[in-house]
Amino acid sequence: MRILTFLLLINWFGINSYSQDEQSEIKDDYLTIQSGLIIDGYNSLGVRTFFEYQKKIKNKWYYGLSYEHSRHLGFFINDQLNELNSNLSQLSLNGYYKLSVANEKLFWLAGVGLGALHNNWDNHDSFGISVNASFTLNIKLSKRLYLETSPLIILLPVNRVYYSPMNADEFDDFYALTYFPFGLKVKL
Tens digits of residue pLDDT in 111-123? 999 999 998 877 7
Rounded percentage of the chain residues whose pLDDT exceeds 90: 56
Is 139 within 8 Å of 151 (Cβ atoms)? Answer: no
69 pLDDT more than 50: yes
**Whole-number pLDDT of residue 16:** 47
Distance CA(72)–CA(67), nearest Å, equals 17
pLDDT of residue 22: 45
CA distance 136 to 160: 8
Query: What pLDDT is attached to residue 173?
Result: 85
What percent of the chain has pLDDT above 70?
79
| 176-188 pLDDT per residue, tens | 999 999 999 999 9
Tens digits of per-residue pLDDT, 95-148? 999 999 887 799 999 999 999 999 887 778 889 999 999 999 999 999 999 999
- If DSSP states are collapsed to H, E and C, what string results for 4-19? HHHHHHHHHHHHHHCC
- Predicted confidence (pLDDT) at residue 13 exceeds the cutoff of 70: no
Domain 28-187 has CATH 2.40.160.20: yes
Compare 78 and 96 and report the one with higher pLDDT. Answer: 96
> What ranges do the domains of the chain cover?
28-187
pLDDT at 21: 44
DSSP one-letter code for 170: T
CB 73 within 8 A of CB 47: yes
